Amino acid sequence: MRDHGGDLDRAKARFGDGDWLDLSTGINAVPYPLPDLLARAWAALPTRAELAALETVARATYRAGEDTECVALAGAQAAIQLVPRLGIGGEARVVGPTYNEHAGALTAQGWTVTQVGDADGLKGARLGVVVNPNNPDGRFWTPEELIDLARDVGLLVVDESFADPAPEYSIIPFLDSLPEGVLILVLRSFGKFYGLAGLRLGFALGPSALVGEMRRLAGPWAVNGPAIATGCTALADTDWQVQTIARLSRDAVRMDTLAEAAGWSPVGGTVLFRTYETGDALAAQERLAEARIWTRVFPYSAGWLRLGLPGSEPDWARLEGVLQG
């Protein structure tokens, strides 16, 4: 099994039960308020019209052009699982270190996968993957840089799972005007920014042939009724989005201030998570875990520790108490 954040079972097995504060993911800790759902959302199979309405509002929210296709899936993870099955085959390269499911899913489907240190290392690959902004170090590439890169890649997959608070990074508005022969497929997560990861909702956007094949591979009813209804409401709620981005931006600065006072140095991140060089990540994680605060360490770094942002003042007080103690 590949390691991930959100693994509270492992934390409890080692440190015991209790009132855990899980900061090991990049999921917004103040979720979108669930709308009142009609009984039909739970009781009936989703219709094509309902799914089309969700994809229409997603295209508008992500500023997709008229020729960009969109398919709703059961989370960005579902899209990651489908990409290796698109029939291209051959060598894939992934800019890393990054979210490990990209390489894992490709390898499981027989691809030869190489991790490269920067986007330029993708040139010449049949398939290249870049997470923008990247998890966990927050590196990002402009749309112009990605379009130029895609000229030398068979298919460029851009995972924008953490791009909601930074729409200026998104390449989706440029997909309709790509140069001849350039192929870019974009993956989006709903659950991270909207704080509703349990709904399992995400999207893939790009050329009609590729997106249509993903739709075929996903099969009927790839997204459940409650996710469709909630997604339609949340994606159209621009007031909530603006307010949430402002709050997350303030909280990211607050977290950086705490980390600096604790003697940690910033590696990077987004306004949904922050990553720090601690000198000894396992020791820092254990110190916090003793206070029932769970964080994320990485097998490729002895010093990096990633924290999501607390969602309430009592949770901030818990974290501050440990870091200042």
Nearest of 187, 235, 191 to residue 214 by alpha carbon: 187
**What CATH topology corresponds to 8-31+239-324?**
Aspartate Aminotransferase, domain 1 (3.90.1150)
Is the sign of the CA dihedral 311, 168, 62, 118 positive or negative? negative
**What CATH topology corresponds to 39-236?**
Aspartate Aminotransferase; domain 2 (3.40.640)
Share of residues in the chain with pLDDT > 70 (%)? 100
Q: Which tens digits make up the pLDDT trace of 175-195?
A: 999 999 999 999 999 999 999
The answer to whether the beta carbons of residues 293 and 314 sit under 8 Å apart is no
Res 276: pLDDT = 98
Residue 274 to residues 13, 255, 321: CA-CA distances in angstroms?
A: 25, 8, 18
User: What is the 3-state secondary structure of 187-224?
Assistant: EEECHHHHCCHHHCCEEEEECHHHHHHHHHHHCCCCCC
Q: Where in the chain is the domain with CATH 3.90.1150.10?
A: 8-31+239-324
**DSSP secondary structure letter of residue 250:** H
Nearest of 312, 306, 317, 242 to residue 97 by alpha carbon: 306
Q: Where in the chain is the domain with CATH 3.40.640.10?
A: 39-236
End-to-end CA distance of the chain: 35
Q: From CA 85, how far away is CA 92, in angstroms rounded?
A: 13
Res 87: pLDDT = 78
In total, the chain counts a number of residues equal to 325
Q: Which tens digits make up the pLDDT trace of 22-74?
A: 999 999 999 999 999 999 999 999 999 999 999 999 999 999 999 999 999 99
